Amino acid sequence: MPRDEEPAYPGGAGARPRDDLEPGHTYPELPERPSLGAYREAAAHCRACDLWKTGTQTVFGEGKREARVVFVGEQPGDQEDRAGRPFVGPAGRVLDEALAEAGIDRETVYVTNAVKHFKWRAAGKRRLHEKPNRREVAACRLWLDAELAILRPQVVVCLGATAAQALIAPAFRVTRERGKLIDSPLAPHVIATVHPSSILRAPEETREDEMRSFVADLKVVAKVIRSL
Ligand code: URA
């Protein structure tokens, strides 16, 4: 790419800090040289919304730099917030099981979230998940765009409505469009499915069916991976 066409921000095209943050909200200084490690370090100091105040730490994405497939969830949960790693709690175990059944090796994919802090409300001693709002998702987009710009994945898989509506289209309906390949400038292959936590929340009578459908969607991803 000629120098004057280089993206203004080193994360790559699209990885731009928003200039419409609410007063008092700021991004940290961004790395001069883009790398996942440098962005991870910068994101640890993000103050672009209020979630850093109640989250233990920023939970950046995880996986190999060579990963050709990126899975995008909503936000870290309670266990991820404590561990500082995405998808290591109950939803992560569902994801691991489904990936294994679909024939996708988690070690080869990159896993991240639309929002990188845990949003929660107290219920006694428990911290209950709260859905991030539009502003929080938008403020955090810089980090996800940087991850995607550095990785340039062949396949992006949105897990659940928050990721799909942030990355594909605000009116995207996962229930209607799940498991279908979607035309998108994000990556050559883009697909959405349910969030693994929806399987944990499903009534016991339907949970197995929900898991089967989730695995079926991931098998579409596995087929794309085999074709790369
Ligand atoms: N749910 C998510 O969306 N992401 C995680 O990392 C964990 C649970």
CATH number for the domain that contains residue 186 = 3.40.470.10
Is the pLDDT reported for residue 228 higher than 80?
Answer: yes
- Among 171, 170, 111, 113, residue whose Cα is nearest residue 141: 113
> Structural domain of residue 53, as residue ranges?
11-227
Exposure b/e, 145-163, CB count within 10 A at least 16 = b: bbbbbbbebbbbbbbbbbb
CB of 113 shorter than 6 A to ligand 1 = yes
Is the pLDDT reported for residue 142 higher than 80?
Answer: yes
pLDDT in tens, 156-177: 999 999 999 999 999 999 999 9
Whole-model pTM?
Answer: 0.94
208 assigned to some structural domain: yes
pLDDT in tens, 61-74: 999 999 999 999 99
Structural tokens at position 47: 């103050």
72 assigned to some structural domain: yes
Provide the pLDDT for residue 2: 41
In whole angstroms, what is the distance from residue 71 CA to residue 113 CA? 8
Provide the pLDDT for residue 12: 52
CB of 162 shorter than 6 A to ligand 1 = no
Is the pLDDT reported for residue 95 higher than 70?
Answer: yes
CB of 74 shorter than 6 A to ligand 1 = yes
- Tell me how many domains the chain contains: 1
Q: What is the chain's mean pLDDT, rounded?
A: 94
Provide the pLDDT for residue 9: 45
3 assigned to some structural domain: no
1 assigned to some structural domain: no
pLDDT in tens, 5-35: 444 444 554 578 999 999 999 999 999 998 9
Is the pLDDT reported for residue 119 higher than 70?
Answer: yes
6 assigned to some structural domain: no
Is the pLDDT reported for residue 3 higher than 80?
Answer: no
Provide the pLDDT for residue 15: 77
Span 111-139, average pLDDT: 97
- Nearest atom in ligand 1 to the alpha carbon of residue 87 is 6
**161 Cα–ligand 1 center, Å:** 12
Query: How much of the chain, in percent, has pLDDT values that exceed 70?
Result: 94
125 assigned to some structural domain: yes
Span 87-116, average pLDDT: 98
CB of 198 shorter than 6 A to ligand 1 = no
Provide the pLDDT for residue 14: 56
Contact status, residue 191 vs residue 221, Cβ threshold 8 Å = yes
Structural tokens at position 74: 């909503």
Provide the pLDDT for residue 4: 39
Contact status, residue 55 vs residue 118, Cβ threshold 8 Å = yes
Is the pLDDT reported for residue 79 higher than 50?
Answer: yes
In whole angstroms, what is the distance from residue 113 CA to residue 74 CA? 5
**90 Cα–ligand 1 center, Å:** 9
2 assigned to some structural domain: no
74 assigned to some structural domain: yes
